[in-house]
Structure 1
Amino acid sequence: MRSDTPEGAGTVADLGEFSLIQRLTVGRAQPPSTLLGPGDDAAVVVASDGRVVASTDVLVEGVHFRLDWSTPEQVGHKAVAVNLADVTAMGATPTAVLVGLACPPETTVELVDEITTGMWKEAGRARVGLVGGDIVSSQTLVISVTALGDLQGRAPVLRSGALVGDVVAVCGRLGWSAAGLAVLGRGFRSPVTVVNAHRAPEPPYAAGAQAAMSGATAMIDVSDGLLADLDHIAEASGVAIDVRTDLLEVHQRLVDVGTALGADPRHWVLTGGEDHALAATFPGPGAVPEGWVTIGTVWRGDGITVDGRPYEGPGGWQHWR
């Protein structure tokens, strides 16, 4: 907690809206893409391409995070990461985030401080500015982040561009967040590397632009599960996609956790969400850039198969189901 909290200002109600905003923003460094940061009616961000990629996600306490499972700093990290991953999945370079925070009046200033610290740190890792937002009163802690990105002259990579004969590749971790969630759900807090993958995902921010420059025909952020998200590409593109399990990496740490919990780690890799890896299609093996792993093929038809067969069970997360 910062040391400049006025005496008696233990909660956000004690400190007040405008003092809290000033506390969370003044003195923070901004990247060159931020021409005007917090403090005015709106921010001004560089958009040299003439187009702005924009995406918004909402995180609700008890649905997307639990403060008995994650530190406030990890929650802030996650809120920024999941939004920037969507911008990256369009082939854009992230430039800025705007944050909306709704919280009960009894929320401590220390809690908000720590959430914001996580946001600033992750924004720094992605080399983007946290350029503004809003704070309001609510009965539930809710964080809404809007992410902006710059295409830098490139065409956006859509879900609808996959072609028959393309190969499917991924960049980033798969199954780690689902394994971490399973560990937490059993009441454990270790292994820490697996649990932290759920608490604070690490999207490969540079990989989206890399894929776009390598000729990716379609791309998506793996937020709901690999099969579920590839199915979005298949449906939008009017194609079928087959995933080969012999090409999927199942890390030994996931194998160990699966053995301990009596779970199949391959299921986490295929259907687990919230790792925020990127999945994309490319016009042949030679187009797949360094750091990406080929895992399947685009075929004529529709839907998703695994090793040529329909996958038994849900392919990922869906709200209200």
Structure 2
Amino acid sequence: MEEKDIIQLFKTVAQNLPFYPFIKKGIEDDAAVLKFGDVYLLWTTDLFIENTHFRWEWMSPFALAYKALAVNISDIAAMGGKPLCFTISIGFPKEFSKNKLQEFLQSLKKTAQEYKLALIGGDTVESEKTVINISLLGTAPKGQIIFRSKAKVGDIICVSNYLGNAAAGLALLERGYNVEDTIFSSLINAQLFPKPEVSLGQYLAQTGLVHAMIDVSDGIASDLTWICLESGVGAEIYQEKLPISPACKEAAKRFKINLLQWVLSGGEDYCLLFTVPASEVEGLKKDIQKKLKKDIFIIGEITKGNKVYLISNGQKEDISQKGFSHFKDKRVWKN
């Protein structure tokens, strides 16, 4: 079974359970949306499991705490929200040292301070390997929440950063490289320390121009497919327009790896993937560059249909759902 099939089973369960008026969005977005009075809350959660999401051979406790919190923050950013507070539940073996835990907590505190997050609870348990679950609550103004489900035919598809860097970083870590290898340090940092696009997400929400948005966690082949499925549309992206860093190209060349595999399916870049009306995209690009000192990249357009196609040299390839899936792929292989 693929991840989307399992999610569909949970949706079937949800259909037979109460759906309260304050629930404005449930399963199949980056976060659930709850309304209490005039306040809209965004609620997300993510799980990190040793030897599935990371290995201690190349992941420090400091990096693990940062990333576990950052990926949740990214979910809130992907809906245009502001992160507020979180809970953390952690399981670890008896041999997990006090020094490791102190390093983990130091990073957790530093990251929470950086993003102005309150820690409001959690749980601890002994387990055979390290397991971390963070649940994060954010907020967004009424009318400014961006869902996956409102992309329109003719929209231009944009991303906010390079694609494939994090996947390349993982490949380097598995080959024994570290952040001190300066030629590839940007790739390793992209894997270990992804930067949630909170300011950009909030700015895009405030413009009212973005029709649909998601963060790139499983690769654009999968994440763009989610937008298309939820919006009832298709998409075409152009290979020559995909933003790829020189370091990523060099790593793929050195290790004789298909660069497009990292770019389309690698995931964990945690940049924002969004759609904008064609008439607005150039003005939006200029405004973002001026106000946030940041570039965004046009990679394709929303079309009729229900498939995601890669266009290259006049040829069309169906890449729908060809990103990472926990139930058919592995980012990390156990020794």
TM range (shorter): 0.7 to 0.9
- State the shift of 1:312 in Å: 6.2
- State the shift of 1:266 in Å: 3.4
Q: How does 1:47-86 map to 2 (within 5 A)?
A: 49-86=38-75
Structure 1's consecutive aligned runs of 4 or more residues displaced over 6 angstroms after TM superposition are none
Using the alignment, how far apart are the partners of 1:95 and 1:277 within structure 2?
20
Match of 2:324 among 307, 314, 317: 317
- State the shift of 1:224 in Å: 0.4
**1:295 corresponds to 2:288:** no
**1:104 maps to amino acid:** P
Using the alignment, how far apart are the partners of 1:238 and 1:253 within structure 2?
36
User: Do 2:310 and 2:319's aligned partners in 1 also have CA atoms closer than 8 Å?
Assistant: no
1:270-309 residue CA offsets vs partner (Å, 9 max, x unmatched) = 2221111110111225244423221110001111001161
**1:277 maps to amino acid:** C
Match of 1:205 among 194, 198, 201: 198
Using the alignment, how far apart are the partners of 1:302 and 1:312 within structure 2?
11
**1:77 maps to amino acid:** Y
User: Do 2:309 and 2:317's aligned partners in 1 also have CA atoms closer than 8 Å?
Assistant: yes
Using the alignment, how far apart are the partners of 1:310 and 1:117 within structure 2?
46
Worse-superposed segment, 186-195 or 78-87:
186-195
Count matched residues. 275
**1:102 maps to amino acid:** G
**2:125 maps to amino acid:** V
Using the alignment, how far apart are the partners of 2:174 and 2:136 within structure 1?
30
- State the shift of 1:48 in Å: 9.0
Larger radius of gyration: 1
Corresponding residue SS for 1:274: coil
Using the alignment, how far apart are the partners of 1:97 and 1:208 within structure 2?
19
What residue ranges of structure 2 are gaps of 5+ in the alignment?
Answer: 1-35, 289-294, 329-335
User: Do 2:222 and 2:320's aligned partners in 1 also have CA atoms closer than 8 Å?
Assistant: no
Structure 1's 59 and 252: CA in aligned 2 closer, same or farther, altered over 3 A? Answer: same
Give the structure 1 partner of residue 20 of structure 2: none
Using the alignment, how far apart are the partners of 1:241 and 1:313 within structure 2?
9
Worse-superposed segment, 90-99 or 221-230:
90-99
**1:293 maps to amino acid:** F
Give the structure 2 partner of residue 165 of structure 1: 154
**1:221 corresponds to 2:222:** no
User: Do 1:179 and 1:257's aligned partners in 2 also have CA atoms closer than 8 Å?
Assistant: yes
**2:267 maps to amino acid:** G
Using the alignment, how far apart are the partners of 2:212 and 2:138 within structure 1?
18
- State the shift of 1:247 in Å: 1.8
Structure 1's 252 and 133: CA in aligned 2 closer, same or farther, altered over 3 A? Answer: same
Corresponding residue SS for 1:131: strand
TM-score (norm 1): 0.80
Structure 1's 53 and 188: CA in aligned 2 closer, same or farther, altered over 3 A? Answer: same
Using the alignment, how far apart are the partners of 1:313 and 1:136 within structure 2?
39
**1:196 corresponds to 2:189:** yes
Using the alignment, how far apart are the partners of 1:49 and 1:178 within structure 2?
41
Using the alignment, how far apart are the partners of 1:195 and 1:166 within structure 2?
33
- State the shift of 1:313 in Å: 9.5
User: Do 2:162 and 2:244's aligned partners in 1 also have CA atoms closer than 8 Å?
Assistant: no
Corresponding residue SS for 1:102: strand
Using the alignment, how far apart are the partners of 2:37 and 2:248 within structure 1?
43
Structure 1's 285 and 254: CA in aligned 2 closer, same or farther, altered over 3 A? Answer: farther
Corresponding residue SS for 1:255: helix
Using the alignment, how far apart are the partners of 1:245 and 1:270 within structure 2?
10
Corresponding residue SS for 1:158: coil
Give the structure 2 partner of residue 281 of structure 1: 275
**1:128 corresponds to 2:117:** yes
User: Do 2:162 and 2:243's aligned partners in 1 also have CA atoms closer than 8 Å?
Assistant: no
**1:138 corresponds to 2:132:** no
Structure 1's 313 and 212: CA in aligned 2 closer, same or farther, altered over 3 A? Answer: closer
Give the structure 1 partner of residue 239 of structure 2: 245
1:84-141 residue CA offsets vs partner (Å, 9 max, x unmatched) = 1111111111112211111122311111111122222222332322333222222221
Give the structure 1 partner of residue 107 of structure 2: 118
Q: CA RMSD in A?
A: 2.0
Using the alignment, how far apart are the partners of 2:275 and 2:152 within structure 1?
8
